[in-house]
Amino acid sequence: MVWEKELNERKRAILKSIIDDYIQSAQPVGSRTIARKHELGLGSATIRNEMADLEELGYISQPHTSAGRIPSDKGYRFYVENLMQIQSLAKNEMAIIRKAMDEKIEEINELIKRASTIISNITGYTAVVMAPQLTRSLIKSVQLLNIDERRLLVVVVAGGGIVHNRLVNHCGTIDNTHIAKLNQAFNIITSGKTLDQISMPMVRDLQKDINVPADVILSVFEAIEDCVRKIETADVYLDGITNILNYPEFNDLIKAREVLDILKEKDIINQLVFDASSKKQLEFKIGSENEINEMKDLSIITTVYGREGKDIGTIGVIGPTRMTYGKVVSSIKYIRELLNREMLRMFGDDS
């Protein structure tokens, strides 16, 4: 690789020292600081010369008001691919995460909300979690409830305890006896099946056994279809959006407002995590690698979670480019492991 030719071991060690120090201090790093803090066996003059080379190569830059250097996006990219050390979670942090995830939840979206809160609290950044993409979800049960003389509530429960409902307006006379028969009939033809396994002839045949207008039966089935489609549309949850304000990079109110506004753009965040769901490994987008201008000062780390090789959701962290990458990676990996376990418990071998 070009990087291997550009950077010898000395330059790598100095670049790592600069980035590690800058991540911790948010202050430009000078040659004397590196010579004093890091046992590189090099004098400050030698380090200064190497830093000049690193700057010329585009790995670091010099702010106008400082004699020190800060990493560039290119420098961070080299860091995460070659120099970053994974920072293990402390035992108490792992215990906190395990305790929160071990409190059994039977509804998948509540689990995802909890995961996003845990990630945000542990990392100190903004967490983003996409709920499972259930492209062929199994229907567990269907329940119809009489709301009043002209309205029914259709409730659909799918794998993982995911629940959606929809109101159905009708002009017929539907009493509790009809409701009981409809519940039984629809559960016979839908339970344990995906939508594409339920044919219209099966639905139309229900009218032969139940004295209910055909348009009511069709309306109920359309409601079931609508509920399943909503279940199969992955929700995205963000937590800790205002955490970004805790970092000096965003002390400028205009910059902070731009970042907060973009994080609240649901379509943009949804597309971001949806794109990441096609990647099988940890995915880093650093600063200028982000297509959206307002996210050029941010880094995004994402990975997928699922069961038995089925990648069905995405978890990630959004923060400043001066992110504690090693800590974030270990946090995401650990929470992914626990989410995988919960997916297996809740969904089993369901598709």
CA 325: distance to chain centroid?
16
Residues 6 or more apart whose CB falls under 8 angstroms from that of 137 comprise 158, 159, 162, 194, 228, 231, 232, 350, 351
Handedness of CA 227, 232, 233, 235 (dihedral sign): positive
pLDDT band at 1 (very low <50, low <70, confident <90, very high): very low
Task: Tell me how far apart the alpha carbons of residues 321 and 52 are, in angstroms, rounded to a whole number.
Answer: 22
pLDDT band at 106 (very low <50, low <70, confident <90, very high): low
Instruction: Point out the least confidently predicted range of 72-81, 110-119, 276-285.
Output: 276-285
Question: Which one is predicted more confidently, 69 or 105?
Answer: 69
**pLDDT tens column, 227-260:** 888 877 778 899 999 999 999 999 999 999 999 9
**pLDDT tens column, 296-342:** 999 999 999 887 666 578 999 999 999 999 999 999 999 999 888 88
Contact status, residue 6 vs residue 78, Cβ threshold 8 Å: no
Instruction: Point out the least confidently predicted range of 55-59, 112-116, 162-166, 319-323.
Output: 162-166
CA distances from residue 268 to 147, 171, 262 in whole angstroms, order as listed: 38, 42, 8
Query: Could you give all domains of the chain from N- to C-terminal order, each with its CATH number?
Result: 2-83 (1.10.10.10), 91-133+235-347 (3.30.450.40), 139-231 (3.30.390.10)
User: What is residue 134's predicted lDDT score, i.e. its pLDDT?
Assistant: 66
Task: Tell me how far apart the alpha carbons of residues 36 and 209 are, in angstroms, rounded to a whole number.
Answer: 86
pTM above threshold 0.85: no
Q: To the nearest whole number, what is the mean pLDDT of the chain? A: 88
User: What is residue 71's predicted lDDT score, i.e. its pLDDT?
Assistant: 97
Task: Tell me how far apart the alpha carbons of residues 150 and 328 are, in angstroms, rounded to a whole number.
Answer: 53
User: What is residue 86's predicted lDDT score, i.e. its pLDDT?
Assistant: 92
For every residue of 177-227, which 3-state class applies, written as one string? HHHHHHHHHHHHHHCCCCHHHCCHHHHHCHHHHCCCCHHHHHHHHHHHHHH
- In DSSP notation, 88-143 reads PPPHHHHHHHHHHHHS--SSHHHHHHHHHHHHHHHHSSEEEEEPP--TTPPEEEEE
User: What is residue 309's predicted lDDT score, i.e. its pLDDT?
Assistant: 60
- In DSSP notation, 85-96 reads ---PPPHHHHHH
